[in-house]
Amino acid sequence: MVIWIILLLMTAAAVMAVLWPLSRHCARAAQQADPDTHFYREQIAEIERDRERGVLLPSEAEAAKAEAGRRLLRATGMTAADASAAVGEPALRRRRAASTLALSVIPIIALAVYGAYGSPHLLTHPQEQQAQVPGDKMDLMAAVSQIEAHLAQNPQDGRGWEVVAPVYIRMGRIDDAVKAYGSAVRYLGPSADRLANYGEVMVLAKDGLVSSEAQKVFEQAVQLDKTSPKARYYLAVAAEQDGQIEKAKQAYGELLSSSPEGAPWVNVVRQRLASLGDEPPVAEQGDAPQIGAADIARMVSGLAERLETQGGSPEEWARLIRSYAVLGQRDKAVAAAQLARQALAQNDAGLKTIDAMARELKLTDAGP
């Protein structure tokens, strides 16, 4: 409501700025219509100066002043008449038209410009509601900044690194989360849970690929706790990606049989087994629909078809190779690496990218 009052006052001020000069035009015209009035006033002043100097007798001076006064009055009357005549009916109509135009067009233009470039919707909600959502984010950012400042001064505070690592994951800062979990393991010492979390974020950083470095971390976690479900799950995924399907099935089955009923990872393990053709997935009622293995396979197939027919960048070829490895299709990953080398034969940097991906995925039979 306040914004509209302000707009109304601004519009009224703009209209008055246009109408005020029009209303003063007649007065200025009356004052400037005949320059003789200035001459007669100067003549009267000159007569008064002559009387003071004794050039004119007092009676002569009074007579001269009276005559000059009569001429001044006559000239002033003629000026007003002339001004009134000059500002006749046509001029009056023009002033009225200008006034009407100012009263109608200026508010319309003001509203149109405000609607196009203004923000009338900003005050439709209370300020508390507007600040509620960004306020939570600001609190999180402030907390992270404080922790980071503390860790910059105390880099050996392993507990601080372990606290901020999951926050980095929530914020999408996966690389920072990897460094944070690594520092937590370094300064707090290895434990099964800590190593499992460290390995998991390494997998996230590789878009779902269990690298050889991450696999070593999970193996160390299992050595500390043979029942660690997260470490055992990712070791099974690593076996699947390496093409060791039977080993992966056995690892998934053992994890499923030793898991308590209703464990959060049970459905995921069943889906992985189903993708290997071992047993159909069992999903809890009310779960949101998820993308199945068939859908992922179709997307990967589409990418492969486009790259084979149209070509692509080294990063796209690397993504295809990694996708085949994640799906456990090792033979297709090797074939994709070979096709990528043929397509990028003139691109030295691209060949280095493909070679690095093959080494990371341990595709030894896909060498150049």
Count of CB atoms situated within 10 Å of the CB of 198? 25
At 328, give phi and psi (nearest 5°). Answer: 80, 10
Q: What is the pLDDT of residues 231-284, one digit of tens each?
A: 999 999 988 888 788 898 899 999 988 888 778 888 888 888 888 876 544 544
pLDDT at 279 (0 to 100): 57
pLDDT for position 180: 94
pLDDT digits (tens, 9 = 90+) for 51-69: 787 777 777 777 777 777 7
pLDDT score at 144? 85
User: Cα-atom radius of gyration of the chain, to the nearest Å?
Assistant: 45
Domain end among 80, 103, 121: 121
Q: Do 311 and 354 fall into the same domain?
A: yes
Answer whether residue 169 is part of any domain: no
> Residue 201's Cα: distance from chain center in Å?
27
Coil/strand/helix, residue 121:
helix
> Contact, 165 vs 135, CB < 8 A?
no
Residue 93 CB partners (closer than 8 Å, separation 6+): none
Residues 218 and 321 in one domain: no
Q: Look at residue 299 in the predicted model and tell me its pLDDT.
A: 72
**211, 242, 275 — which closes off a domain?**
275
Q: What local confidence, expressed as pLDDT, does residue 368 receive? A: 59
Structure tokens at 274: 């189903």
d(CA 361, CA 211) in angstroms, rounded, equals 7
Both 65 and 107 in a single domain?
yes
Q: How far is CA 249 from CA 230, 290, 356, in A?
A: 16, 22, 29
What mean pLDDT, rounded, does the chain reach?
76
Domain that holds residue 312: 293-366
331 within some domain: yes
Residues 300 and 269 in one domain: no
Average the pLDDT over 310-320 and give the result: 84
Any domain includes 32:
yes
- Cα(328)–Cα(334) distance, rounded to whole angstroms? 12
Q: Per the domain annotation, does 76 fall within a domain?
A: yes
Looking at residue 269, which CATH number applies to its domain? Answer: 1.25.40.10
Higher pLDDT, 360 or 252: 252
pTM of the model: 0.47
Residue 285 lies in a domain: no
pLDDT for residue 138: 58
**Residues 262, 330 within the same domain:** no
What's the confidence (pLDDT) of residue 199? 94
Domain assignment of residue 18, yes or no: yes
Alpha carbons 217 and 119: distance in angstroms, whole number: 54
Please check the confidence at residue 84 and state whether its pLDDT lies above 60. no
167 pLDDT more than 50: yes
Same domain, 20 and 80: yes
Residue 299 lies in a domain: yes
The length of the chain in residues reads 368
Q: 48 near 61, Cβ under 8 Å?
A: yes
Each residue of 100-149: pLDDT tens digit?
A: 766 667 667 766 766 666 655 454 445 444 444 455 555 778 888 888 99
Q: What is residue 125's predicted lDDT score, i.e. its pLDDT?
A: 47
Position 183: which residue type?
S
Same domain membership, residue 298 and residue 266: no
Looking at the fold, whether 98 and 10 belong to one and the same domain comes out as yes
With cut-offs at 50, 70 and 90, classify the pLDDT of residue 196.
Answer: very high
The whole-number pLDDT of residue 321 equals 86
Q: Is residue 133, in this structure, part of any structural domain at all?
A: no
User: What domain count does the chain have?
Assistant: 3
Is the same domain home to 45 and 78? Answer: yes
CATH of the domain at 322: 1.25.40
Last residue in a domain, options 97, 121, 145 = 121
pLDDT score of 190: 93
Question: Which range, of 13-17, 226-230, 256-260, 269-273, averages the lowest pLDDT?
Answer: 13-17
Where does the chain have alpha helices with state H? 2-32, 36-53, 58-86, 89-117, 127-153, 158-171, 174-188, 192-205, 212-224, 229-241, 245-258, 266-275, 293-310, 314-326, 330-343, 348-360
Q: What is the pLDDT of residue 245?
A: 85
pLDDT (mean) for 165-185 = 92
User: Are 46 and 104 part of one and the same domain?
Assistant: yes
Contact assessment for residue 177 and residue 166, using Cβ atoms and an 8 Å cutoff = yes
Residues 330 and 255 in one domain: no
297 shares a domain with 196: no
Query: Quick check: 14 pLDDT over 90?
Result: no
Higher pLDDT, 216 or 144: 216
